[in-house]
Structure 1
Amino acid sequence: MTSLPLQAETPATSSQFAYVGTYNPNGEGVYLFKVDGQSGALTRAGIASSQANPAQLTAGQDGKTLYVASEIANYKDGKHGSVAAYAVNRTDGALSKLNEQDSQGATPAFVTLSAQGKHLFAANYGGGSVAVFPLGADGSLQPASSVQQSSGAPGAPKPEAAVVGSFAASDHNGPHAHMIASDPSGRFVFSTDLGLDRIYQWRFDQASGRLSPNTPAFIQASSAGAGPRHFVFHPNGKYVYVINEESSTLTLYHFDQTKGTLEEQESVSTLPKNYQGTNFASGLILSPDGRFAYVANRLRNSIAQFAIGAEGRLTWIDDTWTRGDYPRSIVIGPQGRFMYALNQRSDNITQFAIDKESGRLEFIDRYTGLGSPSQMVFLP
């Protein structure tokens, strides 16, 4: 598939489609929105899919397909979740279901495409497994080509790097795969396991769609009980940033592009210097130019902002109140001018202007009410 640039052929005055996944029962499915190219305002266009608990989603690289994970554990009366493929009507954004597959584990918490766009990766939080699904010519999901199950001793019950007064200790009771994604080359894949405090390192055979352990097969989290959650690659491909949910820290790793392995460099708190109490770090995103990193904090209900300097090092800038409760994720719009916070417990999406020079955020007094929003993707 050919990757289409997000900003090309998208005039600032035109509108674009976005999809938002939600949690039942407040959210009723996958919602379709129109995005104003000038103001970034969201206008609800309807429910595009009523798939159960469709909290996780990702768009095909050519914008013709949307993939949605049902974060459930009873697909077809079994104990797993599911992933579904939808064809996208480029004219009105309507979705037509192509097919659905067993996610190969309970409650899939993350889905994304391989670098070449020919496979879908899924991380099953409840089951502690990761799976790879080849894509058909029409974008449909083929049966899993590789399934890897985590196992081992649970991580520390309390995060040692958390701030004073934190009781952010959850799910260190066994494997809980939280995210899986490939490096930009597509030759290597990483997956996080919050329950085991591990980051797994895989080799990926793009022909067969199979994962095999790299050497070493995994590295430990940056601190005991940290709970590694999500990660992103820097645009230069040399740095990887990981947010740790339980410790509320952001860790920089240098990526060996030949070996496909990570080397830890530094960890910084995602919370202001004087903050004390419980917080769970959730969303993570970099600015398109790679100059800034942003982290969503749940309970603190803020978005932390960092400048990225030499060798990928992080410098605290500020944090901004989300104007909502329990931000599940954050996303930057296709023009790179606006950020959106998906506030799960307050049932709304809030919008911020991004200062491209300083990286700071400014709330622009725009709320979009929506039941339990989880994730938003813009159609390429």
Structure 2
Amino acid sequence: MTNVIGRVFVGGYPSGPTRTEVPGAIHTLDLRDDGTLAITGVAGEGMEATAVALSADGTRLYSVDERRNDGRGPVGRPAKLFAFAVDAADGSLSELSQQRTFAAFPTYVSVDPLGEFVVTASHGSFEHVEHVVEVDGGWVVENLYDDSAICLFPITADGGTEAPCDVYVMRNHSVDPGPSPQAKGHAQASSHAHSALFDPSGQYVLVGDKGADEIHVLRLDREARRLRPTQVLHTPPVTAPRHPAFHPDGRFVFMTDELASGVSTYEFDPAAGMLRHLSSTKSTSPDFAGRNEPADIAVHPNGGFVFVNNRGEDSVVSFSVDASSGELTFVDAVPVSPTKDPGFAARTVHFAASGRYLLVGDRPADRVLIIDVDPETGRLSIVGEATVPGAAAIASVVVGA
């Protein structure tokens, strides 16, 4: 007999042969102690639920709907943040609120550990608009790009959210045109925030702007309900910092470097709200030499290992963590589905059941991979999979905790 040890929520893109036949949604699954997953419910049909996060107590789920707002007199669905109540008995979701996000394509959501705020990161598109300007009797063309923005939403008494109380806007760029084939060489023509993560204390939000090669540290002013920048750390050109993850003790932050095919370790000073770069290493297996772009990152609850999913090598890689320096050393790798393009690839790694299983949102195969992790060695073993259309984002809670 198997027992349910965790509840898993998987947000997904539309899927099918042309990526449109099956609408996106959020699926609820039970995780059993034998490492199997079973779908028990679905909510939010029609959403592009590409980032999801749970409240600290597991009673509320927050999800973005990753869209671009379509201008004057919009006819399509706008980009939004959704809030859902989670039924304690079966994990079913009941909608609490919808709030429009600012800037195009929200791709990340994070919940304040103290339960007062939610933040989202909006990536913006790669496209530009040629804006004609008259200058000195002639005309020039300005190439205008989407803003990228972090939205701060207050949480209401029932767990829903109010409209944003602050919006932190980024309008920078890095090397353009650059060496990445993304956007035909224009992957860094404008800011592209792909993360906004609360630190464990809830004092700060870390933002990875992969378009500008910058990491922003924002202090949450709770009384004023504002985000105050304490640091903008400039990484080397064409690094593209994407997703951060904190070590359980809060001292180290690990960040995927999308265009550098790397993962970096930073030391975090919570008193000053400052990061200091310590080291960087390849995100792939040591002998891999092809083009690669890492996406997501997770840290084992015991703090001993870091896990990264790679698009190019098409792998999940484990690294051991040096307890004194935070330096990473390759341990193991397992394969995921072949990448079809940077946006159509396995893009999520997430720990469930207190670190027993690592779950991978393997979008090209419409599945969640279930990986058993040896907590002593960091070795990886794929033990199963579950079919979930467009699987792109994962959150989970332990059952019976």
Q: How does 1:119-268 map to 2 (within 5 A)?
A: 119-126=117-124, 127-155=147-175, 157-158=177-178, 167=181, 171-214=187-230, 217-221=231-235, 223-268=236-281
Residue 333 of structure 2 corresponds to: 319
Residue 352 of structure 2 corresponds to: 333
Q: Whole-Å Cα distance in 1 between the matches of residues 354 and 81 of structure 2?
A: 29
Q: Residue 55 of structure 2 contacts residue 113 of structure 2 at CA under 8 Å; is this kept in 1?
A: no
Residue 292 of structure 1 corresponds to: 305
Aligned to 1:371, the other structure's residue is in SS state coil
Q: Whole-Å Cα distance in 1 between the matches of residues 177 and 321 of structure 2?
A: 31
- Establish whether residue 56 from structure 1 lines up as the match of residue 70 from structure 2: no
Residue 66 of structure 1 corresponds to: 61
Offset at residue 361 of structure 1 (A)? 0.2
Offset at residue 360 of structure 1 (A)? 0.7
Q: Residue 111 of structure 1 contacts residue 122 of structure 1 at CA under 8 Å; is this kept in 2?
A: yes
Q: Whole-Å Cα distance in 2 between the matches of residues 28 and 236 of structure 1?
A: 36
Residue 146 of structure 1 aligns with an amino acid whose one-letter code is D
Q: How does 1:10-89 map to 2 (within 5 A)?
A: 13-24=3-14, 25=20, 26-36=22-32, 38-74=33-69, 77=75, 81-89=79-87
Sort the Cα spacing of 1:304 and 1:150 in 2 relative to 1 into closer, same or farther, 3 A: same
Offset at residue 290 of structure 1 (A)? 0.4
Q: Whole-Å Cα distance in 1 between the matches of residues 107 and 4 of structure 2?
A: 32
Q: Whole-Å Cα distance in 2 between the matches of residues 93 and 185 of structure 1?
A: 27
Q: Whole-Å Cα distance in 2 between the matches of residues 182 and 29 of structure 1?
A: 25
Unpaired stretches in structure 2, ≥5 consecutive residues: 15-19, 125-146, 340-344
Aligned to 1:379, the other structure's residue is in SS state strand
Offset at residue 103 of structure 1 (A)? 1.0
Aligned to 1:109, the other structure's residue is in SS state strand
Q: Residue 244 of structure 2 contacts residue 255 of structure 2 at CA under 8 Å; is this kept in 1?
A: yes
Q: Residue 156 of structure 1 contacts residue 225 of structure 1 at CA under 8 Å; is this kept in 2?
A: no
The two structures have a TM-score, normalised by structure 1, of 0.89
Offset at residue 80 of structure 1 (A)? 5.2
Q: Whole-Å Cα distance in 1 between the matches of residues 193 and 158 of structure 2?
A: 29
Q: 1:196-238 CA distances to partner (integer Å, 9 max, x unpaired)?
A: 1110121211223211121xx31112x2111110001111111
Q: Whole-Å Cα distance in 2 between the matches of residues 71 and 35 of structure 1?
A: 27
Which among 262, 270, 275 is matched to residue 283 of structure 2? 270
Offset at residue 345 of structure 1 (A)? 1.3
Sort the Cα spacing of 1:293 and 1:327 in 2 relative to 1 into closer, same or farther, 3 A: same
Residue 91 of structure 1 corresponds to: 89
Offset at residue 57 of structure 1 (A)? 0.8
Q: Whole-Å Cα distance in 2 between the matches of residues 14 and 260 of structure 1?
A: 40
Offset at residue 53 of structure 1 (A)? 0.8
Which among 109, 112, 115 is matched to residue 113 of structure 2? 115
Q: Which moved more, 1:245-254 or 1:269-278?
A: 269-278
Q: 1:279-307 CA distances to partner (integer Å, 9 max, x unpaired)?
A: 11011001001000010001211011111
Residue 20 of structure 1 aligns with an amino acid whose one-letter code is V
Q: Whole-Å Cα distance in 1 between the matches of residues 364 and 26 of structure 2?
A: 17
Residue 362 of structure 1 aligns with an amino acid whose one-letter code is S
Residue 5 of structure 1 corresponds to: none
Q: Residue 167 of structure 1 contacts residue 278 of structure 1 at CA under 8 Å; is this kept in 2?
A: no
Q: Whole-Å Cα distance in 2 between the matches of residues 249 and 102 of structure 1?
A: 34
Aligned to 1:106, the other structure's residue is in SS state coil
Q: Whole-Å Cα distance in 2 between the matches of residues 82 and 190 of structure 1?
A: 21
Aligned length in residues: 358
Aligned to 1:345, the other structure's residue is in SS state helix
Q: 1:180-202 CA distances to partner (integer Å, 9 max, x unpaired)?
A: 12222222222111111110121
Which structure has the larger Rg over C-alpha atoms? Answer: 2
Residue 332 of structure 1 aligns with an amino acid whose one-letter code is F
Q: Whole-Å Cα distance in 1 between the matches of residues 239 and 177 of structure 2?
A: 9
Sort the Cα spacing of 1:79 and 1:20 in 2 relative to 1 into closer, same or farther, 3 A: closer
Q: Whole-Å Cα distance in 2 between the matches of residues 181 and 152 of structure 1?
A: 20
Q: 1:49-101 CA distances to partner (integer Å, 9 max, x unpaired)?
A: 21421111111222221111000113764795100111122122221111100
Offset at residue 250 of structure 1 (A)? 0.5
User: How large is the Cα RMSD of the aligned pairs?
Assistant: 2.0
Q: Residue 42 of structure 2 contacts residue 92 of structure 2 at CA under 8 Å; is this kept in 1?
A: no
Residue 250 of structure 2 aligns with an amino acid whose one-letter code is G
Residue 296 of structure 2 corresponds to: 283
Percentage identity across paired residues of the two chains: 26
Residue 7 of structure 1 corresponds to: none
Q: Residue 278 of structure 1 contacts residue 299 of structure 1 at CA under 8 Å; is this kept in 2?
A: yes
